[in-house]
Chain A
Amino acid sequence: MAVIASDRGRRAARAGFFYRPEVRQAIYQIITVVALVALFYILITNTAANLKRQNIASGFGFIDRTAGFDVSQHLIDFDASMTYGRAFLVGLLNTLLVAGLGIVLATVIGFTVGISRLSTNWLVARLATVYVEVIRNVPVLLQLFFWYFAVLKSLPEPRQGSYAIPGGGFLNVRGLYLPAPVPEPGFGTVALAVLIGVVVSIAVYYFARRRQMLTGQRFPVLWTSLALIVLAPLGVFIALGQPLGFDYPVFRGFNFQGGMVLQPEFVALLLGLSIYTASFIAEIVRSGIQGVSKGQKEAALSIGLSKGQSLRLVVIPQAMRIIIPPLTSQFLNLTKNSSLGVAIAYPDLVSIWSGTVLNQTGQAVEVILVTMGVYLSLSLLTSAFMNWFNSRMALVER
């Protein structure tokens, strides 16, 4: 009897041991770790064996070797005699350029369309709705192809005549030719005047805020700043005899000379990405503004703020809190989508590094891991910055 009872007790205790939550959790976690280690072990040994069999070197020794290819658009000096490392930098800068400009352009278009969707003007609201519904339901890659192959690549050759753009620019199959600004002696003084204007405006802003806090009197900050930043430097500019020239593109022989040229690949990628992302930003802006409760706006009007003031001081600050987090992920999407440039031969990071360099060296593992690492760090940096901005905008609760 006693033997049976104690045996049962022991069995219950033993079963109980495995039914205790912390024991179970420990077991599951050990299984996870073992499975992960085993997976990575298998992957790494297989990869090593495969690389050895195919005689592919490993390591990053190749970045010091000569690249041997040219790149059509480079922000820093580059030619075929430079290294793979330098080519990587060229690609990275091109990615950053198109992503940065794309974010600015997409934000401008997106906010305009988003606010238009809420316009009391029926026609304007309808047009904005059509824009959003058409653009966001078509793949971005298709839109890039459209802009690049169907629009920009079917423009006339320079010698068959280009489209003239007001102000001295030209558009043809080789790209967008624009006048390049050429600073002349004395232009530095104008730049200095702008800088002084900005610094003084910031000081005026803080002074005006303190005075309003203390006395309640308002100060026309906007107009003072405009005068300081625009009018004063303009005065200096005219007084110094307009020290800024323009180098206009001129048609000579077979092509345009002078000015600056934006490659068709770049223009197509920038247009495609901004127009596509703008349709998502417009929806975010619309729902953000609609997310501010009606009572807030009515309260603002009832304490005597004008319509513009209630929008600027009450609605928009609250809408921004709803808008910023999803806006961040759209900026990240645009940056990641810039990698589609590879499909229209824009020399971005993916095109140069995961395309040409990968093909020439065959070192897939290193090249792809570096590419992923770059995008991962860009994503983390952007979201860190936007989180900081978001916390600045967040509601300060007492």
Chain B
Amino acid sequence: MGPLAWMRDNLFSTWGNTILTAIGLLIAYWVVSTVVSWGILTATFVGADGSACTREGAGACWPFITAKFAQFMYGRYPDEERWRVDLVYLLALAGLVPLMIPRVPGKFWNAVYVFAVFPVLAFFLLVGGVLGLPHVDTSLWGGLLVTLVVATVGITGSFPIGILLALGRRSKMPIVRWVSVGFIEFVRGVPLITVLFMASVMLPLFLPPGMSFDKLLRALIGVALFSAAYLAETVRGGLQAIPRGQFEAAEALGLSYSKRMAFVILPQALKLVIPGIIGGFIGLFKDTSLVLIIGLFDLLGIVQLNTADQKWFSPTTAMTGYVFAGFVFWVFCFFMSRYSQMIERRLATGHERTGPAKAG
């Protein structure tokens, strides 16, 4: 089909469509021209402080990002120790990349590394205090480091709790079921902020006098419990999708409850809900920005803190900071959602509709 015929079919098929195309063109032009002019044409690329970006009609203030980049990535983690953070990122990539590519063999040992070896290595590398590595207090952590730590620890911590809750909700024992339902529905009914407030204000009250928790650890507990409730519902969906015959067959083999679940039911159920789990992880990754409300400095928190820096005061500093932070979050989330769509296609079992219905 030639380009003219394509345009007639897809853009100008009727009068209504032509008007829609015109409106669409206007919107597209406005968006593209605003982004290009703000981000490139009128933007500032070099400067030592905010005065470089202070002029009539100035666009983005990029020197603000380059000057603060290290802080956005590591927070106040000491300069000479930052290689430890980079090493942790490298170790994580070394485990995650082969795990995520379906063709690479050795998934079992790979998973053992990612879920058992790596967390221990990462903990000692980041916290320090062993093997001559100086201790770095978590109050110095910040930026993308905190965002990633909260998100990954949150999802890893929520896994065992969430699976137990999902099994509990489908249990035949009434008390176990009520406790699970109560916890899941309670947590899902309240905003994450209130859970974080609870973790930061009420948790110290729950503990015996003299015992206290690190602020980051408190946030991690809150986030893990919160996402466990959502994960439980995702996993429950997977459990419900497993045919009865699988439960009965496992029982007929004489396997105990834990063996039935661990070797027959859960492997199938979890595989079914991988896209849902990744979806939950994307949500959690975005929600980590809420920890700034209880005084931790994640990526958004540290950007927010730096926009108030007097040295970099200019009319566009705040906008530049948010666009940068938004872009970083977007890259992570977009990549993950694309990955989950790929997995969904791989796991698809041929029950799809053949042709999508078109509206209007």
Interface residues of A in 22-52 (CB under 8 A from B): 25, 28-29, 32-33, 36, 43, 46-47, 49-51
A354 to chain B, nearest CB (A): 6
The answer on a CB contact under 8 Å between A47 and B318 is no
The answer on a CB contact under 8 Å between B329 and A115 is no
Chain B residues near A350 (CB-CB < 8 A): 191, 193-194, 197
Given that A124-B21, A127-B28, A311-B360 are contacting pairs, would A46 and B205 also be in contact in the complex, using a CB cutoff of 8 Å?
yes
The residue on A at minimum CB distance from B206 is A43
Chain A residues near B304 (CB-CB < 8 A): 145, 149
Whole-angstrom CA separation of A133 from B282 in the bound complex: 13
The residue on B at minimum CB distance from A362 is B201
Interface residues of B in 16-52 (CB under 8 A from A): 17, 20-21, 24-25, 27-28
B267 within 8 A of A: no
The answer on a CB contact under 8 Å between B175 and A32 is yes
B190 to chain A, nearest CB (A): 5
B167-183 interface code vs A (CB 8 A; 1 in, 0 out): 00000111110010000
Whole-angstrom CA separation of A126 from B194 in the bound complex: 38
Interface residues of A in 9-32 (CB under 8 A from B): 25, 28-29, 32
B1-17 interface code vs A (CB 8 A; 1 in, 0 out): 00000000011010001
Whole-angstrom CA separation of A154 from B205 in the bound complex: 41
The answer on a CB contact under 8 Å between A32 and B293 is no
Given that A123-B28, A290-B357 are contacting pairs, would A139 and B194 also be in contact in the complex, using a CB cutoff of 8 Å?
no
Given that A315-B357, A315-B359 are contacting pairs, would A139 and B206 also be in contact in the complex, using a CB cutoff of 8 Å?
no
The answer on a CB contact under 8 Å between B293 and A122 is no
A218 within 8 A of B: no
Chain B residues near A296 (CB-CB < 8 A): 357
Q: Which of A123, A133, A365, A371 contacts B334 (CB 8 A)?
A: A133
Pair count A-B, CB < 8 A: 186
A364 within 8 A of B: yes
Whole-angstrom CA separation of A121 from B11 in the bound complex: 5
Whole-angstrom CA separation of A123 from B39 in the bound complex: 24
Q: Interface range on chain B: under 10, 10 to 19, 20 to 34, or 35 or more?
A: 35 or more
Chain B residues near A154 (CB-CB < 8 A): 315, 318-319
The answer on a CB contact under 8 Å between B326 and A46 is no
The answer on a CB contact under 8 Å between B334 and A137 is yes
The residue on A at minimum CB distance from B207 is A46
Interface residue tally for chain A (C-beta within 8 Å): 67
A219 to chain B, nearest CB (A): 26
Given that A25-B172, A141-B289, A354-B197 are contacting pairs, would A311 and B359 also be in contact in the complex, using a CB cutoff of 8 Å?
yes
Whole-angstrom CA separation of A322 from B200 in the bound complex: 39
Whole-angstrom CA separation of A36 from B182 in the bound complex: 13
Chain A residues near B289 (CB-CB < 8 A): 139, 141-142
Whole-angstrom CA separation of A311 from B330 in the bound complex: 35
A380 within 8 A of B: yes
Interface residues of B in 52-108 (CB under 8 A from A): none
B236-255 interface code vs A (CB 8 A; 1 in, 0 out): 00000000000000000000
B287 within 8 A of A: yes
The answer on a CB contact under 8 Å between B355 and A53 is no
The answer on a CB contact under 8 Å between A365 and B190 is no
Chain A residues near B13 (CB-CB < 8 A): 120-121
The residue on B at minimum CB distance from A291 is B353
Chain B residues near A365 (CB-CB < 8 A): 202, 205
A336 within 8 A of B: yes
B310 within 8 A of A: no
Whole-angstrom CA separation of A121 from B13 in the bound complex: 8
The answer on a CB contact under 8 Å between B322 and A294 is no
Chain A residues near B194 (CB-CB < 8 A): 339, 350, 354, 368, 371-372, 375
B6 to chain A, nearest CB (A): 8
Whole-angstrom CA separation of A115 from B172 in the bound complex: 44
Given that A142-B289, A289-B357, A342-B293 are contacting pairs, would A51 and B205 also be in contact in the complex, using a CB cutoff of 8 Å?
yes
Q: Which of B198, B205, B293 contacts A47 (CB 8 A)?
A: B205
B86 to chain A, nearest CB (A): 25
Chain A residues near B205 (CB-CB < 8 A): 46-47, 50-51, 364-365
B358 within 8 A of A: yes
Chain B residues near A315 (CB-CB < 8 A): 357, 359
A18 to chain B, nearest CB (A): 13
The residue on B at minimum CB distance from A350 is B193
Whole-angstrom CA separation of A25 from B10 in the bound complex: 63
A363-396 interface code vs B (CB 8 A; 1 in, 0 out): 0110010011001100110000000000000000
Chain B residues near A136 (CB-CB < 8 A): 333
- Chain A CB within 10 Å, residue with most, of B11, B194, B201, B289: B194
A138 within 8 A of B: yes
A358 within 8 A of B: yes
Q: Which of A140, A149, A294, A343 contacts B318 (CB 8 A)?
A: A149
Whole-angstrom CA separation of A115 from B28 in the bound complex: 18
B292-326 interface code vs A (CB 8 A; 1 in, 0 out): 11000000100010010000000100110010011
Chain A residues near B354 (CB-CB < 8 A): 294
Whole-angstrom CA separation of A139 from B147 in the bound complex: 12
Q: Can you list 28 A-B contacts with CB-CB less than 8 angstroms, sorted by A residue number?
A: A29-B176, A32-B176, A47-B205, A119-B360, A120-B17, A120-B358, A121-B13, A121-B17, A123-B10, A123-B21, A136-B333, A137-B330, A138-B330, A142-B326, A146-B322, A149-B304, A150-B318, A151-B319, A293-B353, A293-B357, A294-B354, A297-B357, A339-B193, A340-B290, A365-B202, A371-B190, A371-B194, A376-B190
